Amino acid sequence: MNATINLEKKHFPVLLNELISIISPLYGGTFIDCTFGQGGYSKAILNNISNKVIAIDRDNEVTSIAQSLQKKNNGRFSFYNKKFSDLKDLKTKSSDIKGVIFDLGCSSNQIFDLKRGLSFNSAGKLDMRLGLNNFSCDDVISKISENNLFKIFKYFGEDKNSKLISRKIIQKRAIQKLKTQDIVKIIEQVKKFKFSKKHPSTKIFQALRIYINKEISELINGLISSFQILPKGGIIAVVTFHSIEDKIVKFFFKNYSDKKNTSRYLPNNIKNNCLFMENLKPILPSKKEITLNPASRSAKLRYAIKIEENNNFREIFDKFNYLLEVENLNHTQ
C-alpha cells in the first residue's frame, strides 16, 4: 500500500443508514455514542434538532472534531475523553437515554496516521495505543516471553502460524531492537506471501491491538455499563469488525435475551431475560457500501432492547474467561 494515497483516504461511517433506521433518532432523545471517532454517527443523530448526543472516545486526538461539533450544536452535544468501560461515571440521567451505540475498533484516520504506529506501513516502533493505555506494543514486543506472545497471537489473532511467528520474533529480538517493518517482514517470511485479500499481518496486528488496548474487558464491561445506564425500552446497537468481538456481542444479546429459555448456568426455574433481540442474524453492509468502502466488508451490526433490570452478568465473564486470562498475561518478562 502507498502511504501518500492512504493518508488522503476519506472516512466513511460504516452501516450508518442501517444504524440510524434501528435507533430511530427521528422521535428525539439522548443518544450515547461510545466510539465518537470522526463523529460520523454523532453528526447523523444531531441532524434532528430534538436530539442530544453524549459522545466518548479514548483517543484524545479526536477532541478537536468534538469541539467544533460542540460549537455548532450548542447544548446538544458533549464529549468526554474516556474509555467506554467507564460509561457509568458519566452520571447521565438514565430516563433521558434512548440508545447507546458502539462502532468498535479503530478509525481509518488512526490507522493511516503513520506516526501512531497502528499500521503495517508505519516506519517506526509498533505502538498500537488508541488512548488512555498503560503500555505500548513496543513495551510488549521488547520484553514478553515467547509462550505468552504465542497465546496472544493464537487467541486474539486466531492465526495458524502463531507458534512460528512468535518464535521468530523472539529470536530476532535477541539480535536487534524490532520496529514495525521488522515484524511485518517476519510475518511475510513465515507466510511465504500466499495470496490473500488481506495483508499477511492483519491477524497478528489485530491480536496485538486487542492485547494493548484490553479490548476484551473493554467490550464486556462497556456492554454491561451501557445496559446499566439505559432505562427500560432503550436500545444497545453494536458494529463489530472481527469474529471475537462479534462472538462476545452475540453472546451478550442472545444469552440475556427473551428469545432463549433458561441459562445453563442458572437453576432451572430462574431466568434473567433482560433484553429483547429482534433478529438473531446480524445486519451486514450492502454490496454498494462494500464497493465504496472495502473496509466495511467484515462489519456486522447487532442490537437489542432492554426490557428488565439485571444485576447478574456473571455468565459472560465465565464464558469469555479464557480470553480475559490472555488479556492479563504478563508482558514484562
Ligand X SMILES: C[S@@+](CC[C@H](N)C(=O)[O-])C[C@H]1O[C@@H](n2cnc3c(N)ncnc32)[C@H](O)[C@@H]1O
* Chain residues that interact with ligand X, rule: CB under 6 A: 11, 13, 35, 37-41, 56-59, 62, 83-84, 103, 105-107, 130-131, 218
* Residue 162 or 221 having the CB closest to ligand X: 221
Angle subtended at Cα 97 by Cα 94 and Cα 101, rounded to the nearest 5 degrees: 120
Q: Pick the closest to residue 199 from 211, 220, 181, 223 (CA basis).
A: 181
Q: Are 318 and 265 in contact (CB under 8 A)?
A: yes
- Least distance from C-beta 280 to ligand X, angstroms? 24
* Residue 224 CA, distance from chain mean position: 15
- Least distance from C-beta 102 to ligand X, angstroms? 8
- Least distance from C-beta 216 to ligand X, angstroms? 11
User: Which residues touch 13 (CB under 8 Å, ≥6 apart)?
Assistant: 37, 38, 40, 41, 44, 103
- Least distance from C-beta 212 to ligand X, angstroms? 11
* Residue 53 or 230 having the CB closest to ligand X: 53
* Cell numbers standing for residue 156: 486474539
* Residue 73 or 142 having the CB closest to ligand X: 73
* Residue 71 or 264 having the CB closest to ligand X: 71
- Least distance from C-beta 130 to ligand X, angstroms? 4
Q: Which residues pair with 304 in a beta bridge?
A: 236
* Residue 30 or 213 having the CB closest to ligand X: 213
- Least distance from C-beta 297 to ligand X, angstroms? 14
* Residue 164 or 295 having the CB closest to ligand X: 295
Angstrom distance (rounded) from CA 300 to CA 204 = 21
Cβ neighbours around 25 below 10 Å, total: 22
Q: Pick the closest to residue 142 from 178, 166, 183 (CA basis).
A: 178
- Least distance from C-beta 217 to ligand X, angstroms? 9
* Residue 81 or 273 having the CB closest to ligand X: 81
Q: Pick the closest to residue 272 from 264, 280, 282 (CA basis).
A: 264
Helix (H, G, I), strand (E, B) or coil at 267: coil
Per the listing, cell 427500560 goes with 232
Angstrom distance (rounded) from CA 155 to CA 273 = 30
* Cell numbers standing for residue 148: 505468552
